[in-house]
Amino acid sequence: MKKGAAEVGIWDEQAGVGMSGAFSIGVDLGGTNLRVAAYSGGTDFLETILLPTRLAAGRERVVSDICEAIDALAQRHNGQRKLAGIGIGTPGPLELPRGVLRNPPNLPGWDGFPLRSAITAKLNRGVRLESDANNAALAEQCLGAGLRYGVSTLCMLTLGTGVGSGLIFRGQVWNGVTGMGGEAGHMIVQDQGGEPCGCGGSGCLEQYASAKAVLRMARERLGEEAPASAHDVALLARAGDARACGIFDAVGHSLAVALTGLINTLNMPLYLLGGGLCDAWDLFSPEMFRELHLRSYIYRLTEPSELEPERLEEKKTYILRAQLGPAAGLLGACLLGFQESSSMGRVGI
Ligand SMILES: [Zn+2]
């Protein structure tokens, strides 16, 4: 059985919250789905509520949906357990500590919206806010790969529809001074003639290593034969289609360029890749490791003898698959809920 958070004492060290009798509520607000969960530790939820994000009905309606789901879970689980706190994950960028959204591409029309104060006013209690990618990184550190390998400092890239990222430094989210740190999905990997990006720039990693990017490259290279999903492009590559294989080589190349910048700058022991596109790990990782060895001198100096060992050697740089799957963001929001009740500060603010 997988070790739970209680057995390794993370609350005592990190959140200052005893496990027995406490629960938190986490919210993962996405552009399509709204997920709200009650949580008491480990990698399972006490209860989850899944709703569509009713963006067309307006921001107030979405905030009401969030608060009604929180109230319902709080009422059902308060009693034998005590509510320690509430954590919320949203698409970034997010201005902290105020909790104001800054032109998030996945929540059109929410630029400047003070999400934290809107929720706090309705619930009449404090909540803690963080970007969804930072929450996923926090969960991976506390409950996933970080727990398994005993690593408290890591960088996670989530290769989904876009590319999210989060930095965890000694068990804490690295926010930067305004809450907008860790947006590695918008590192430039194509300097000349790069694809335009939703952030306003061009040539960003997100345009070359996301499910959306794989579909664009499939249309460019396969024309009318292009499959309708990144998963199907992967199937085509595994069936031996050289054009489809070339797409995943391009993904691996772009990841190597971005990882070179991260590894040379940060010198962290662990870089995790998560998100749906990692199902194609077998297709893009050979090119990624080959290119990374050529490009990053820090990687060459710290390259491990085994890429996927049982235990991590000290003073090496590992690039591994994340372990928690699509629940990572919601688990991270729940962990944030436990941190909300503590006096712990954050790195960078
Ligand atoms: Zn960008």
Instruction: Quote the tokens at residue 56.
Output: 């067309």
Please tell me the distance between residue 6's alpha carbon and the centre of ligand 1 in angstroms: 39
- Give me the pLDDT at residue 80, please: 80
- Give me the pLDDT at residue 6, please: 38
Residues 122 and 35 in one domain: yes
Q: What's the chain's average pLDDT?
A: 91
The CA-based angle 255-174-88, given to 5 degrees, is 100
Instruction: Specify which residues 156 forms β-bridges with.
Output: 166, 272
Residues 113 and 236 in one domain: no
Residues 277 and 129 in one domain: no
Of 7-21, 60-74, 86-100, 318-332, the one with minimum mean pLDDT is 7-21
| Cβ–Cβ under 8 Å, residues 241 and 253 | no
Distance CA 192, CA 46 (A): 50
Classify residue 141: in a domain, yes or no.
no
- Give me the pLDDT at residue 19, please: 53
Neighbours of ion ligand 1 (CB under 5 A): 186, 197, 199, 201, 204
| Cβ–Cβ under 8 Å, residues 329 and 39 | no
Closest by CA to 246, choosing from 223, 224, 221, is 221
- Give me the pLDDT at residue 104, please: 84
Residues 131 and 154 in one domain: no
Distance CA 236, CA 247 (A): 11
Please tell me the distance between residue 272's alpha carbon and the centre of ligand 1 in angstroms: 20
**pLDDT beyond 80 at 1:** no
Please tell me the distance between residue 198's alpha carbon and the centre of ligand 1 in angstroms: 6
Classify residue 217: in a domain, yes or no.
yes
- Give me the pLDDT at residue 341, please: 59
Cα 208 from chain centre = 18
Please tell me the distance between residue 184's alpha carbon and the centre of ligand 1 in angstroms: 9
Classify residue 253: in a domain, yes or no.
yes
